[in-house]
Amino acid sequence: MVIYFVTTNLLFTGIYFLIGIDHLGGLMEVTGIELFGEVFFFSAQTFTTVGYGRINPIGFAASFTASMEALTGLMTFAIATGIMWGRFSKPKAYIRYSRNAIIAPFRDSIALMFRMVPYTRNYLVNVEVRVTLAIHVEEDGQRKNRFYNMPLDIAKANTMTANWTLVHVINEESPIYGFTKDDLTNARAEILVFVQGFDESVSNTVVSRTSYTYEEFIFGAKFLPMYHPNEDGTKTVLHLDQLDAYESVTLPVK
C-alpha cells in the first residue's frame, strides 16, 4: 500500500509538472527539491481528499487531473478497505496437525494415522475430515498423477474439543494396500487432508488443509497419549506439546 501510494503520487506529480506548475495556485516561492515537494504533497492531499486549501488547481487541465486523482484515491481506499477487512475478518480454523503420519498396528492389521488438535477455545462442531491420496503412476511410458479417496475409520465428529487421531485402515480396499515404504517413495505419495467444521464463536464454517508427503510417513510407530485427568479428576489436561510424540512399535507380519 505504501509503495502504491508513493508511486501513484509521483505519477500525478509528474503530470502536474507536464501541465505546468503555473496552473497550481498558492505555491511557495521555492525551487528545486522544495518545489517538487510542494507539488508532491499537493498530489497526496488531493489523492486522500484532505485538501488543506493553500494550493489549488487553475485551469481545465489541472482541475481535470486533480478530479481524476481524487476519484482514483476514493476508489483505491474503498478497494483496499474491502480487501483488508476480508483478510482480517476471514474465519480461521485454529487446528494444529502432527508433524508425521504414521503406519501403526490397528485391530489385528495396520493403519495410517495422523492427529490434530484445536489450540484455542474456538471449539468446532459438526467436524468432517476427508483424505485424498495423490501418487505418481507410469502409464504408456508417461508419469501421471492419480488421486484416490482414503476412507477414514471415523470421518465425522459432533464436536472437537481435544486431540483427534484420524485412522485410515490399510486393508484390501485401501489404495495403499500392500505398499512398502519404498513403494510409497517411488510413487511420491502424498495424502491431502481437508477439514471442515462450524465454529460457534464466529457463527461460520471454517476450513483447514494440510498434507503429508512420503518423506513424512513413519512405519512402525504409535502416538503417545496427549491428555490425562488432573489431580482431583475434575478436568482433563491436554498437552499440546505432545502432539508429535510417538514411540516405535513392531508392525504385524502377514
pLDDT, averaged across the chain: 90
- Residue 49 is predicted with a pLDDT of 87
Name which of 18-27, 87-96, 186-195 the model is least confident about: 87-96
Confidence band (pLDDT; 50, 70, 90) for 138? confident
> CA 39 to CA 16: how far, in whole Å?
8
pLDDT at 66: 92
- Quote the pLDDT of residue 53: 81
Confidence (pLDDT) at 122: 75
Whether residue 103 is predicted with pLDDT greater than 70 in this model: the reply is: yes
Residue 202 has pLDDT above 80, yes or no: no
Distance CA 96, CA 48 (A): 42
Helix ranges, 118-204 (H) = 181-186
Average pLDDT over residues 126-141: 89
Which residue type, as a one-letter code, is found at position 54?
R
9 phi/psi in degrees, rounded to 5 = -70, -35
User: What is the chain's alpha carbon radius of gyration, rounded to the nearest angstrom?
Assistant: 30
Predicted confidence (pLDDT) at residue 87 exceeds the cutoff of 80: no
pLDDT (mean) for 169-175: 92
111-114 contact pairs (CB < 8 A, 24+): 111/153, 111/167, 111/168, 111/169, 111/170, 112/150, 112/167, 112/168, 112/170, 112/176, 112/191, 112/217, 113/165, 113/166, 113/167, 113/168, 113/222, 113/223, 114/165, 114/166, 114/191, 114/193, 114/212
CB-based contact 46:73 (threshold 8 Å)? yes
3-state secondary structure of 203: coil
Look at residue 130 and give its three-state secondary structure: strand
Please give the pLDDT value at position 251.
85
Per-residue pLDDT at 12: 94
Q: How far is CA 139 from CA 96, 146, 234, in A?
A: 37, 11, 58
Strands 156-160 and 124-139: antiparallel
Per-residue pLDDT, 243: 93
> What mean pLDDT is predicted for residues 139-145?
80
Range from 20-29, 43-52, 81-90, 162-171 carrying the lowest mean pLDDT:
81-90
The confidence score (pLDDT) of residue 201 equals 77
Tell me what the mean pLDDT of segment 172-194 comes to: 91
Query: In the prediction, which pLDDT does 203 show?
Result: 79
Distance, CA of 128 to CA of 158 (rounded, Å): 9
For the segment 205-221, what is each residue's pLDDT rounded down to a tens digit?
Answer: 889 999 999 999 999 99
What is residue 254's predicted lDDT score, i.e. its pLDDT?
58
The arithmetic mean of pLDDT across residues 170-189, rounded, is 90
**Residue 204: pLDDT band with limits 50, 70, 90:** confident
